[in-house]
Chain A
Amino acid sequence: MLAWTIYLSFFGMAVLMLLPADRPRAARMIALGATLAGLAFAVSGVLQYRNHPPADTILTITQVTWLRSLGLQYFLAADGISLTLVLLTGIVAVAGTLFSWNVEHRTKEFFAFYLALIGGVYGVFLSFDLFLLFVFYEIAIIPKYFLIAIWGSTRKEYGAMKLALYSFIGSAMVLVGLIATYVVAGTHSFNLLDWVQVPFPRSFQVWVFPLMFVGFAILAGLWPFHTWAPTGHVAAPTAASMLLAGVVMKLGAYGALRVAMTLFPMGVAVWQDPIAILALIGIVYGALVALVQQDFKFVIGYSSVSHMGFVLLGLMTLQTVGLSGAVLQMFSHGIIAGLLFAVVGRMVYDRTHTRDLNALEEMRLSKALPFAAGTFVVAGAASMGLPGFSGFVAELQVLIGAWQAFPSYAVLAGVGIIIGVAYLLRAQQKAFFGDMPEKPAEPALDPITIPERLGALLLLATTVAVGLYPQFLLDLILPAFHPNAPLMGVLTRGGVL
C-alpha cells in the first residue's frame, strides 16, 4: 500500500509529461489528485501501522532481488520514523500543490518536476536497501534544480546551481561511504537490516561515519554547509521552497540518522561532541542572521537552518527522548516552514512582488491581507516554539535530551529560541503591521484564494493537532528507538562506547 505513494507520484509525472501544454487546469487537477492520493495512502499506512504494529517495528512492503551479482534488492519497508516522514511528505505535497494553483507559466512541466521530486522523497523514506535509498536520494536532485531555475526568482540560476551542487557533493560523499561499507561489510548486499548486524571495526567507523553523516547533513543544513539553504529557499518558487524546507532538508537528517548513525554507533560516539557543537552554532547563527535580513524570505530561510540545528542536536543526544524529539522536530519544522514559505512566497510575494521588509512595512498588509497576516501570526507562534504547537513538543524533547548529554548546549539552544522569537516578531511587525502611514494609492491586492486557504488550514490544523496530541506520532516514533528495536535500538542501547 505505502509503495503506491511512490508509484503514484511518478505515474502522475508521466501523465503530466504526455499532457498537451495548453491544459493547465487538467495539469493542476492531476497534480492535486496524485498528491492527495499519496496523502491518502500515507495516512492509511500510518493508521494500519498503528493498529497492527509489526513485532519488530519494521513493516516490510516489498522485497525482491534486483541485481543478484551485487546483492541489490528492491526493498521497501517502513518503521515509525519513515512513516512519520512519509506522512509529512504527503501533507506538504498536497499543500504545495494548493499553493501552486496560480502557476501559469509552463504549468504541466512545473507539476511534472514537482511530482518527480515528491516521488523521490517518498522513495528515500521507504527504502531499506541503501542502494535503493541512494537512487531515490539522487532522483530528487534534478527536479529541485529545474523547479528553481525555471520558476524561481531572485538569482534563481545561482541558487539552483548551488543547491544542485551541494546536494551532489553530499551524495558523492555518501556514495563513497556506501561503497566502502559494502566492501568492508562483505555481506554482499546493501540491505540495511543486514548491515546493522555487522560489527564494523572501530577504525573504519571513525572515518566513514563523519563522511556519511556530513554527506547527508549537508542537505539538512548543517552549519557550515548550510549556505545552499537560504539562497535555494529564496530563489525557489513557493511550492519548491515549501518542499525544500519542509521535506528535502528532512531527507538529509533522515539519512544521517537512518544510515550514518545506525550503522556506525562507535563513529557517533567519537564525533558526538563536534557535531553537537556544529548543530548548536547552526541554531544560534541561523537565528542571528535571520534577525538582520531585509528580505522576508531570507528570514524564513535562515530560520530553517536554525530549526534544523535542533534536529541535529537532538540526534546527537543519543537518548530516546532526544532522538524522538529530533524526528518530531523534522515533522514539525516541515509543516511550519512549509506554512511560512507559503505565506511569504505565495500570499505576499506573488501579490506585492517584493519581499523587501522595508517596502512591505509601508503597505501594512494586515489590512489588505488579513488572512495572510493571521496565518503568519499563528505559524510564527508555532515556529517560535510556543506550546500548543508541534514545535514546542519537539524542541522540548530535544532539549531534555540535550540536558542529559550536554547541559550547556541546552542552555545555549535556549538562547537560540529567544532570538527566534525576536526575528519572527521583527519580520511580522515589518511585513504585516507596519506603522508607516499607508501609501495613498496602493494597488488593490487580489484577495486570498480558496486553494490558499485550504492549504494554510491543512498545515495549521496539522501543527496544532500534533502540538496538542503528539502521542499520535510518538506512538510511531518511540518503538523505533526502543533499545530492543532491531534497527535504531543500537543508538539507545547504551553500550555505544
Chain B
Amino acid sequence: MSQLHLISILTALPAFGALVVAGFDAPSKRLARGVGLAFSLVSLALALALWARFNPEVTELQFVERHRWIPSLGVDYFVGVDGLGLLMVLLTGLLVPFSLLASWKIEEKPQLYFALVLLLESGLFGTFTALNFFHWFIFWELSLIPVFFLIKLWGGRERSQAATQFFIYTLVGSVAMLLAFQAIFLATGTFNFPELTQMAHDRRLANGLLKIGWLDMPPRLIALLVFGGVFLGFAVKVPLIPFHTWLPVAYAEAPTGVSMLLTGAMSKMGVYGFLRVLLPIFPEQTRAMLTPLMAMAVVTIVYSAWAAMAQKDLKRTIAYSSINHLGYCLLGLFAAMKTMGSDAVWLNEKAAALNGVLLQMFNHGLSASALFCCVGLLAERSGGRRGLDDFGGLRKVMPVFCGLMGIALFSSLGLPGLNGFIGEFLIFKGAFALSPLATAVATLGLLLTAIFLLNILQKVFSGPLNERWSQMPDLSANERAMLMPVVALMLAIGLYPQLLLGVINPTVVGWIKQIFNYV
C-alpha cells in the first residue's frame, strides 16, 4: 500500500519505544532519556510526514486501514484521519518531545517516567486515529494508566489522592460511555464511527434503539439516556463544569511534563470525542438538549475564569484557565449544532465557529502547555514555590524567561497576532451570529481571563523585585532551546493561520454538509 500503514506505525512506535526505554537498567539514565526523546522525535517526524502526505482537498478520511478484528462483535481494526485527526496527531507529536524536555531533570527512575510518557503518546495517537469504538476505547483507556502512575509516582504532596481521583472520575465517565455503546451496538450491530454516523443520519440507529425495552421507558428517553452516557464520558474528560473537580488537583499535583500533556493533549480527547463521536451519532439528542448544554458551556467558561482569578497557586490558575479555554470550544460546537436552515450565511457562520474550535484546540494545547512548562521552570528555581504572591519583579533578573512566558500568556489571552487570537475570534464570530445570548454571556469569560492573566503578568514579572529571588538565574541555553520553538510556532500560527486552516477547512465543510446542518 502506498501509505505504508503510516498510522499504525505511528501508533505503535512510541509504545515500542516505551518498552525499549523501560528496559534500560538504573545507571543508564542519560541514555534512557536520550533514547526516549529520540523516539518521540521520530514520532513527530512521522506525524509531519502524515501532514505532508495529507491531501487537504479531500473531505473523506485518509490513510484508512481497515481489517476485520472480532467479526461477531462488529469490531474492526479501523484507523484513518481527517483534518481534525491530523491536527490532533500533530499537536500530540509536538507536545511529547516538549514535555520530555521539560522533564529532563527528573532523577527518580527516569526510565519508567519516559516510558510511561511514550506509552501515553501511543494512547493519544490511537485515540485520535481509531474509528471503531472498541479499537478507540482501548487507546482511550490506555492513556489513563500512564497518567495515573505519572501523577502517583512523580507528583506533588497530594499525588496519591489526585491520581486516584483523576482515575476514578475518568473511569466513571468511561463506564457510562461503555454502557451506552453497548446499547448502541445492540441497536446497530456495529462499532464503526463512520457507519454509526451514517445510521444516525438515516434513522436506523433510532429505530434500532427501539429494540431495547427498558422498564417501559419511551424510546426517546432511552435514546436520551444513551446519549447521556456517552456525553458523560466526554464531559468528564474535557471537563465541563460540574464534572471538573478532579482537574485542578490532578493538574496541580502532576509533575510539570505531565501537566503539559494533560492540558495540552489529553483534554483534547474530550473535545475530539464530542466532534468525532457524540455530535455525529446523536445530532437529534444534542439538539434536543441544546439549551442545557449551551448553558453548561457558558457556565464552564465564566465559572472557571472566575475560579482562576481566585487562585493563589499559579498552576491552579492555569488549570482553571484551561477549563475556560476548552469551554470556548464547546460553545462553538454547540452553537454550530443549532438548527438554522441552509442559508449560505448560516453555513458560513457554522464553518467559522467550527474552524475556530479546531484551531482553539491546537492553540490551547500549545499555549497552556507552554505556560505549565514556564511555571515548572519557575518552581524549579524557587524550590517548589509557585504562589501568585511569592514572586515579583522577576523581569529584572530573568528577562528572557519573562519574555517567553509573557508571549505564552498573551497567546492564551488571545492577543491578535498570536495564535490564540485567531481561534477565539472565529469561535465568537460564528457563535455570536448563531447564539447571541450565550455568546454575550461568555464574553464575560474573556474579560475575566484577561484580568487574571494580566494579574499574573503584573504580580510575577513586574513590581518591586522580591529580594529573595534576586539571584534567580535566567533560562539556560537548553531551556531556551526548548521554549523557543514553541513560542515561534505560536507566532507563526498567529500570523499565518492558513497553515492549519488549509488542512481543517475541508473537513469542517464536509461536517457541515453531513452532521451540523441536516434537520
A-B residue pairs in contact (CB < 8 Å), sample of 21: A321-B72, A377-B149, A386-B141, A386-B142, A386-B144, A387-B142, A400-B182, A400-B186, A403-B183, A403-B186, A404-B211, A407-B214, A407-B215, A410-B179, A411-B179, A414-B175, A414-B179, A417-B175, A425-B167, A429-B160, A433-B152
* B137 interfacial contact with A, CB 8 Å: yes
Q: Which residues of B are found within 8 Å of A421, using beta-carbon distances?
A: 167-168, 171
Q: Which of A393, A399, A410 contacts B70 (CB 8 A)?
A: A393
Q: Which of A396, A399, A418, A435 contacts B172 (CB 8 A)?
A: A418
A6 to B133, CA, bound (A): 41
Contact A403–B182 (Cβ < 8 Å): yes
- Name A399's closest neighbour in chain B (CB-CB): B182
Contact B185–A400 (Cβ < 8 Å): yes
* A167 interfacial contact with B, CB 8 Å: no
- Number of A-B residue pairs, CB cutoff 8 Å, is 88
Interface size for B (C-beta < 8 A) is 35
CB distance from B189 to the nearest CB of A (A): 10
Contact flag A470-B70 (CB < 8 Å), given A404-B211, A407-B212, A421-B168? yes
A393 to B138, CA, bound (A): 10
Q: Which residues of A are found within 8 Å of B211, using beta-carbon distances?
A: 404
A329 to B233, CA, bound (A): 25
- Name B164's closest neighbour in chain A (CB-CB): A425
A417 to B153, CA, bound (A): 25
- Name A422's closest neighbour in chain B (CB-CB): B168
Give residues of chain B (159-209) contacting chain A, Cβ–Cβ below 8 Å: 160, 164, 167-168, 171-172, 175-176, 178-179, 182-183, 185-186
CB distance from A3 to the nearest CB of B (A): 30
A404 to B183, CA, bound (A): 8
* B441 interfacial contact with A, CB 8 Å: no
Known contacts A387-B134, A421-B167; 12 additional CB pairs below 8 A are A324-B72, A377-B145, A387-B140, A393-B73, A407-B212, A410-B179, A410-B182, A418-B168, A418-B171, A425-B167, A470-B73, A471-B70
Contact A396–B73 (Cβ < 8 Å): yes
Secondary structure class of chain B's binding surface, majority of residues: helix
A411 to B137, CA, bound (A): 18
Residue-by-residue, is B18-56 near A (CB-CB < 8 Å gives 1, otherwise 0)?
000000000000000000000000000000000000000
* A449 interfacial contact with B, CB 8 Å: no
* A388 interfacial contact with B, CB 8 Å: yes
Give the 6 A-B CB pairs with smallest separation, nearest first.
A407-B214, A387-B138, A400-B182, A388-B138, A414-B179, A387-B137
Residue-by-residue, is B45-77 near A (CB-CB < 8 Å gives 1, otherwise 0)?
000000000000000000000000111110000
Contact flag A388-B182 (CB < 8 Å), given A396-B73, A418-B175? no
A400 to B71, CA, bound (A): 15
Q: Which of A377, A388, A396, A407 contacts B178 (CB 8 A)?
A: A396
Q: Which residues of B are found within 8 Å of A429, using beta-carbon distances?
A: 160, 164
A191 to B175, CA, bound (A): 43
A321 to B71, CA, bound (A): 12
A386 to B141, CA, bound (A): 7
A410 to B164, CA, bound (A): 25
Contact B160–A433 (Cβ < 8 Å): yes
Residue-by-residue, is A458-485 near B (CB-CB < 8 Å gives 1, otherwise 0)?
0000000000011100100010000000
CB distance from B469 to the nearest CB of A (A): 31
CB distance from B210 to the nearest CB of A (A): 12
Contact B141–A388 (Cβ < 8 Å): yes
* A397 interfacial contact with B, CB 8 Å: yes
Give residues of chain A (430-475) contacting chain B, Cβ–Cβ below 8 Å: 433, 435, 469-471, 474
Give residues of chain A (381-410) contacting chain B, Cβ–Cβ below 8 Å: 381, 384, 386-388, 392-393, 396-397, 399-400, 403-404, 407-408, 410
Q: Which residues of B are found within 8 Å of A433, using beta-carbon distances?
A: 152-153, 160
- Name A366's closest neighbour in chain B (CB-CB): B153
- Name A378's closest neighbour in chain B (CB-CB): B145
A404 to B214, CA, bound (A): 9
Contact flag A387-B141 (CB < 8 Å), given A321-B72, A408-B214? yes
CB distance from A329 to the nearest CB of B (A): 14
CB distance from B75 to the nearest CB of A (A): 9
CB distance from B430 to the nearest CB of A (A): 36
Q: Which of B69, B179, B186 contacts A404 (CB 8 A)?
A: B186
Give residues of chain B (197-240) contacting chain A, Cβ–Cβ below 8 Å: 211-215
Contact A471–B160 (Cβ < 8 Å): no
CB distance from B154 to the nearest CB of A (A): 12
A324 to B186, CA, bound (A): 15
Q: Which residues of B are found within 8 Å of A393, using beta-carbon distances?
A: 70, 73
Q: Which residues of A are found within 8 Å of B149, using beta-carbon distances?
A: 377
Residue-by-residue, is B124-156 near A (CB-CB < 8 Å gives 1, otherwise 0)?
000000000010011011101100010011000
- Name B159's closest neighbour in chain A (CB-CB): A435
Contact flag A478-B72 (CB < 8 Å), given A403-B212, A418-B172, A433-B152? yes
Q: Which residues of A are found within 8 Å of B144, using beta-carbon distances?
A: 386
- Name A398's closest neighbour in chain B (CB-CB): B182
- Name B22's closest neighbour in chain A (CB-CB): A374
Contact B142–A396 (Cβ < 8 Å): no
Residue-by-residue, is A219-247 near B (CB-CB < 8 Å gives 1, otherwise 0)?
00000000000000000000000000000
CB distance from A481 to the nearest CB of B (A): 10
Contact flag A425-B168 (CB < 8 Å), given A386-B145, A387-B141, A388-B142? yes
A470 to B134, CA, bound (A): 12
Contact B141–A399 (Cβ < 8 Å): no
A400 to B181, CA, bound (A): 9
A14 to B215, CA, bound (A): 58
Q: Which residues of A are found within 8 Å of B71, using beta-carbon distances?
A: 471
Contact A399–B160 (Cβ < 8 Å): no
A396 to B73, CA, bound (A): 10
A377 to B144, CA, bound (A): 13
CB distance from A336 to the nearest CB of B (A): 16
CB distance from A274 to the nearest CB of B (A): 18
A320 to B72, CA, bound (A): 10
CB distance from A299 to the nearest CB of B (A): 16
A449 to B176, CA, bound (A): 41
A132 to B268, CA, bound (A): 59
Residue-by-residue, is B395-407 near A (CB-CB < 8 Å gives 1, otherwise 0)?
0000000000000
A471 to B77, CA, bound (A): 13
CB distance from B125 to the nearest CB of A (A): 15
A262 to B227, CA, bound (A): 37
Q: Which residues of A are found within 8 Å of B140, using beta-carbon distances?
A: 387
